A and B are shown apart, each in its own frame.
Chain A
């Protein structure tokens, strides 16, 4: 005869495990799970309130550890929830740096409304900062372009796979064939380097 005892904080732990499993992408916002945790918190709180008020009436101190225990469980649930939400927000911020100001559709489905609002606000703040940082030239500096500060105007790249023809800004057409080495202006080939078609030779 086995009794299935339900521990406090299990559901919150499940939420975090789910998040840990998909460490790079953002899983769908577990609306249900969050609501369950919130309900659990509420239930524990109600129990505690009931017990505290009964204490006020009876003055019985023997159940104080139980009060403390429930309070600890409450706090643990709260911490797990906050960690869950914060981790998601962190990944959303990273999204902005990787993908740009528009969220791809399939990721957008995984976010809940407030998270989308958060993303937009973050985008706005970043854009304002970039504008202010470049106010000397009058143009915003696109900080998301290079993760490391660029050292030169031109870079030497090696072609990793056959890409075909690539046109530069001044009209020159470069034929990108596997294993050919080129020396090209940085700004225009950055996207190809990011995609992995060209390999930057340090």
Chain B
């Protein structure tokens, strides 16, 4: 069931109790869990935070940490699977789900008391009505009982009045025929109802998309409890920026949320007393550029490695490079300065950089490069845009090494959010630079070698050997999006912008598993992804063992050897 009044129905229920927080492996979830932890600390509620990566991880974590816990909060996980069936919890355990994945599982929505989904039911779309999916099968059972009972009665009561006996068999026979007909009619109706239900469910679960950011929802709870502050607001901003940058929500939805966040920012900035000192922590709203980490890099590099500018100007070709130099020339930015780190450029140039790019954006066809976002500045030197945080955290999360497990990376990313651990954030930014440079190089080599193949209704791209960066879902997703845009920019086929892309990369050579990611076409504005269902059906048809473990349904794992068979059946399916 939906819980809209977070303060009374969610928070007040949890005060004084012990809570298990299960967190999914993505940035929005990390931000939401940090905000939740800060809230719980105020009221001294004991909690335990467990990071997980997929459905099996969720099951394992629940089984291990079950203990005496009566309240479990699932952050960005578990909304789309039937929790009660998956985890088989005891009756007193209550689950609170704060998930931005959609579509939500119907069993979770219509559960009575065990599963509570935080959010507004009216904002959700297309939830099937209860009657259309859950069949009230009690009526039919009663009928069956009735039809068998009178016969038994007749057998038992041997002695009876003859009149009644004469009449009874006749009415019984008639009604038996009638009843038989009725039963057939009912069965037909039932079958019809079932096919209708399958159709509704298919339509409901066909597209997977994302709803409101979990971090933002938890921040609103903090606001209603009057326990919000700049730190929590900043984490909420990072959460929603992640949704925009990784293509989970469309820019329209993002702009809608911006207004609300701006009101929070102005309220909190006016609350603090020391807003006049230079070194106070401030969050400012400004129009910023879609250039990756441009404050920490030379301008040329950030232009080259950002997906939007790179694909519009085609910066992996020689001609593209020339256009970039033209653009810099018109902006009045000397090449010497453009090749140095942003912080080392002249102050005048830095101040004018944004306005110059904005002015020339139309001419060079990079109009969408400007977008509204927030910047955090504290102390005299630190100034970070929300996007910087997102990319740094992404890089940290995917920096799994031999002695560094995914949980270590998760905890490191969680630490990097707090302002005390600035060196973790800087390390993350460096790592993110390497990641983006690697993505660009890969895209360049793939486009030149024409490694993106078309399978009629979609493109596919297969990496042959495992890569330090691209064997992880988010990095592979970044690469795939960049590649698709680049391919669309260079190819002359008319339907190129309408075709989606499937990218695959081996996970580890020893087990022979590989990771598969599906990306929506370029022309589609909304990030509704139908690949979840498509993968499932293709796997069924071709008999391939598919591991749809992650909570993002468009990311799956399968065996390297099954890849071709799977792609063939997918081609047939989507044709």
Question: Which residues of A are at the interface with B, using a C-beta cutoff of 8 A?
Answer: 153-154, 156, 158, 165, 171-175, 177-185, 202
Q: By the criterion CB–CB under 8 Å, are A181 and B68 in contact? A: no
Contact flag A175-B64 (CB < 8 Å), given A182-B46, A184-B46: yes
Which of B40, B48, B65, B407 is within 8 Å of A178, CB to CB?
B407
Q: Does B408 contact A (CB under 8 A)?
A: yes
Restricting to B1-60, which residues have a CB under 8 Å from any CB of A?
Answer: 18, 37, 40-41, 44-51
Main secondary structure of the interface of B (DSSP, over half): mixed
- Interface size, B (range): 20 to 34
Q: Which residues of chain B are near A183, meaning CB under 8 Å? A: 37, 40-41, 45-48
Q: Which 6 A-B pairs have the closest CB atoms?
A: A179-B407, A181-B49, A173-B67, A182-B48, A175-B65, A183-B47
Q: Does B405 contact A (CB under 8 A)?
A: yes
Q: By the criterion CB–CB under 8 Å, are B46 and A172 in contact? A: yes
Which of B45, B48, B405 is within 8 Å of A181, CB to CB?
B48
Which of A178, A182, A202 is within 8 Å of B49, CB to CB?
A182
Q: Which residues of chain A are near B41, meaning CB under 8 Å? A: 154, 156, 183
- Closest-CB distance, B225 to chain A (whole angstroms): 17
Q: Which residues of chain A are near B246, meaning CB under 8 Å? A: none
A172 to B67, CA, bound (A): 8
Contact flag A174-B67 (CB < 8 Å), given A153-B44, A179-B51, A182-B46: yes
Q: Which residues of chain B are near A158, meaning CB under 8 Å? A: 411
A184 to B45, CA, bound (A): 8
Q: What are 13 A-B pairs at a CB distance below 8 A?
A: A158-B411, A171-B68, A172-B18, A173-B68, A174-B67, A175-B48, A179-B407, A180-B50, A181-B37, A181-B48, A181-B414, A182-B47, A183-B46
Which of A154, A172, A181, A202 is within 8 Å of B411, CB to CB?
A181
In this complex, the member of B47, B48, B405, B407 whose beta carbon has the largest number of chain A beta carbons within 10 angstroms is: B48
Given A174-B48, A179-B408, A180-B50, 18 other A-B residues pairs in contact with their CB atoms under 8 A: A165-B67, A171-B68, A172-B18, A172-B46, A172-B68, A173-B68, A175-B65, A178-B407, A179-B51, A180-B65, A181-B37, A181-B48, A182-B46, A183-B40, A183-B45, A184-B46, A185-B46, A202-B420
- Closest-CB distance, B546 to chain A (whole angstroms): 29
Q: Which residue of B lies closest to A155 (CB)?
A: B41
In this complex, the member of B18, B44, B405 whose beta carbon has the largest number of chain A beta carbons within 10 angstroms is: B18
- Closest-CB distance, A2 to chain B (whole angstroms): 57
Q: Which residues of chain A are near B51, meaning CB under 8 Å? A: 179-180
- Closest-CB distance, A106 to chain B (whole angstroms): 34
A174 to B147, CA, bound (A): 56
Restricting to B486-503, which residues have a CB under 8 Å from any CB of A?
Answer: none
A179 to B44, CA, bound (A): 21
Q: Which residues of chain B are near A184, meaning CB under 8 Å? A: 46
Q: By the criterion CB–CB under 8 Å, are A180 and B37 in contact? A: no
Contact flag A180-B49 (CB < 8 Å), given A158-B411, A172-B18: yes
Instruction: Mark interface residues in B59-75 (1 if CB within 8 Å of A CB, else 0).
Output: 00000110110000000
A14 to B51, CA, bound (A): 56
Q: Which residues of chain B are near A181, meaning CB under 8 Å? A: 37, 48-49, 411, 414
Contact flag A180-B68 (CB < 8 Å), given A156-B41, A158-B411, A172-B18: no
Contact flag A154-B46 (CB < 8 Å), given A175-B67, A183-B40: yes
- Closest-CB distance, B421 to chain A (whole angstroms): 10
Contact flag A177-B46 (CB < 8 Å), given A154-B41, A158-B411: no
Q: Which residues of chain B are near A178, meaning CB under 8 Å? A: 407
Q: Which residues of chain A are near B405, meaning CB under 8 Å? A: 179
A141 to B47, CA, bound (A): 28
Q: Which residue of A lies closest to B40 (CB)?
A: A183
Q: Which residue of A lies closest to B49 (CB)?
A: A181
